[in-house]
Amino acid sequence: MRLTLGQAAEVRLGRQRSPKDHEGDSMVPYLRSANVVDGALDLSDVKHMNFEAEEQTLFRLASGDVLMTEGSGSRETVGTSAVWADEISGPVCFQNTLLRLRPRTGITDGRFLAWWARHAHASGQIGAAATGANILHLGSDGLKRLTLFVPSPEEQQRIAGFLDGRVARIDGLIAARREQIRFARDAMMADWTERTRAVESLFPNVPLRRFLVSIVDGPFGSSLTSSHYSDTGTRVIRLGNIGVATFRDHDRAYISATHASALLAHSVAPGDLIMAGMGDDRWPLGRCAIAPADIGPAIVKADCYRIRLDPRISHEFAAAFLSSPPAAARAGLLGRGATRARLNTDVAKASEISTAGESEQRDYVMSVGALHARFASAEATLAASVRLLTEYKTSLITAAVTGELDVTTAGSGIPA
């Protein structure tokens, strides 16, 4: 039969935080939106708040409750859910950044309801029920009006058991593919390190300033703010455009010609070396890329450097060498900054580069390029497998909870 969510479950918004509740005689752990990820709970950081006895009656979690994020900046992420299974002993409550879907006794099973919630999120039903401008919110009334297929309690348990096992297998395959990508990347980085060390053993490193023609960093402060950006005009090269020896063209930003005319000192030409003056866990400090031939009018943004070297060092060699794991390690030691490693101009000039000759530079660039190409091919194949498995998982959940799939006779069907 089909029921509204309000008929199938009790839907309640969590309790609002208040400064007065930061301490008290009834401090208990509570969950918030940060604790709910897609299909799972992250309990690594659980906060505590004062809930009086009558509030605990209203907001205490019970095994089988489904928790759903109430607000988000996008329709793709609002309504992420997970089921509570008494992972923490004692009373545990929830905050108003979450909605609680409590299955109604004799009508819905908590695990089945949790799988339905994942289906409704992935299919966009929950996102469509959200309202708001910059931040989308799920009102409990709109959520209660959503409908779902509700088979017998016994069938719900069979469906939930089927999905528990099958989705766990699929998630295991997805995790294995992602681990293979990490292994392939690690192997590439190890080979890159070996080739870099081989060049360094034959030709000494010297500070970059020995070959420097010019170095320009991006404008800071009021020279370039969000108000200067436009849909067309002069390209702004930002940190996100500087990959590891690769120019990343996916995220384009522009400023008007009027604003750009005052920033000509920061201009970039095709073939210029671009260095990242800031790094993080994912993107190393000091990594470099080459401005592409079709870059057009462009400037560098703050924390980026436009570098031009004399002809003894090709920009292609400099980009590959300065982005290598050994160079990144040295840049990390030179970088400064409390939360994110950062270079200044003097430190950028002190970056070490090899004095390899022209033919050795060319051989190095070709060998590093071949490493990157092999990794890109392997990554694309494995990423395609992850996408297929993810799509299959979504369709399987949908088919099972909507009654389109008879789980008692279903085969594996897991893509290779």
Judge whether residue 338 has pLDDT over 50: no
Structure tokens at 185: 């990347």
Q: Residue 44: which CATH number?
A: 3.90.220.20
Which residues lie below 8 Å from residue 246, measured CB to CB, with a gap of 6+?
Answer: 289, 372
Q: What is the Cα–Cα distance from 306 to 168, expressed in whole angstroms?
A: 48
Q: How would you list the strands of the sheet with 288-290, edge to edge? A: 212-217, 304-309, 273-276, 288-290
Residues 320 and 291 in one domain: yes
Q: What is the Cα–Cα distance from 415 to 395, expressed in whole angstroms?
A: 12
Domain boundary residue among 307, 325, 355? 355
Q: What is the Cα–Cα distance from 172 to 193, expressed in whole angstroms?
A: 31
Residue 198, domain member (yes or no): no
Q: Does 332 or 398 have the greater pLDDT score?
A: 398
Percent of the chain at pLDDT > 90 equals 68
pLDDT in tens, 180-221: 999 999 999 999 999 999 999 999 999 999 999 999 998 876
Residues 170 and 218 in one domain: no
Domain boundary residue among 131, 150, 169? 150
Strand partners, 188: none
DSSP letter string over 245-296? SSB--SS--EE-HHHHGGGGGGEE-TT-EEEESB--SSS-TT-EEE--TT--
The count of domains in the chain is: 3
Residue 253, domain member (yes or no): yes
pLDDT confidence of residue 337: 52
Closest CA to 249 of 234, 264, 238: 238
Residues 288 and 328 in one domain: yes
For 404, the 3-state DSSP assignment is: coil
pLDDT confidence of residue 241: 94
pLDDT confidence of residue 411: 61
Residue 289, domain member (yes or no): yes
Domain boundaries, position 108: 2-150
Judge whether residue 285 has pLDDT over 60: yes
Instruction: State the pTM of this model.
Output: 0.80
Strand partners, 334: none
Residues 41 and 29 in one domain: yes
Residue 61 in contact with residue 18, Cβ under 8 Å? Answer: no
Residues 8 and 145 in one domain: yes
For residues 265-287, give the mean pLDDT: 90
Residues 58 and 166 in one domain: no
Residues 172 and 266 in one domain: no
State the distance between the two ends of the chain, measured CA to CA, in whole angstroms: 35
DSSP letter string over 11-39? EEE-BPP-GGGGSSS-EEEEE-GGGEETT
pLDDT in tens, 77-101: 788 899 999 999 889 999 998 999 9
For 314, the 3-state DSSP assignment is: coil
Closest CA to 407 of 70, 151, 35: 151
Residue 244, domain member (yes or no): yes
Cβ burial of 73 (10 Å; 0-12, 13-18, 19+) is exposed
pLDDT confidence of residue 71: 84
* DSSP state for residue 239 in the 8-state scheme: G
Residues 74 and 60 in one domain: yes
